[in-house]
Amino acid sequence: MSESWRVGADGWIAAAEKIPSPNFDPRPTGEVVSLIVIHAISLPPGQFGGDGIAALFTNRLDPSQHPYYQAIAELKVSSHFLLRRDGGLMQFVSCDQRAWHAGVSSWKGRERCNDFSLGIELEGCDEVAFEDAQYRALNRLLGVLQAHFPITDIAGHSDIAPARKTDPGPCFDWDRITPASPR
């Protein structure tokens, strides 16, 4: 595995395009990362390739650019990673910090999933299949993260917030991720 695809001492992966988000804070003292949450996002909804996601995660989303942005421009959210449609990797928050990706959530009886998880966004939506390049990059990233942290579970956003979220959605093929982990 290339050194650039390892989690550095600072919690950043050198291979990733680094776009620091202000939307993070320290994990609770003694908290260990044990969960990876897979999400899907596209901004504007159903459109790929723009800078809307990075703008949202860095509090620079211009509400005049799209009607949908008016409702979300004031959100303070982030994720650790984003995998573009071509498999490109972006990182917004150090793995050592708590990104604000899960919201009100629960996994196996534990509330506040942001405290003990890493968030991986895939550029996508419920209606469109994900790209082969995304699955390849996701599997590589999962291997890197599982080698660095005591990950016990991989779940979808819909698994930790089923009343609120549907992502990564019905077009995400869970059988294509390896190493596979029970959801």
Catalytic pick among 3, 17, 111, 121: 121
Query: Which residues make Cβ contacts (< 8 Å) with residue 121, sequence separation at least 6?
Result: 39, 40, 41, 53, 79, 81, 82, 83, 101
Calculate the CA 143 to chain-centre distance: 15
**Residue 121 annotated as catalytic:** yes
Rounded Cα distance between 123 and 69, Å, is 17
The answer to whether the beta carbons of residues 24 and 53 sit under 8 Å apart is: no
Alpha carbons 149 and 118: distance in angstroms, whole number: 10
> Which residues form the catalytic set?
121
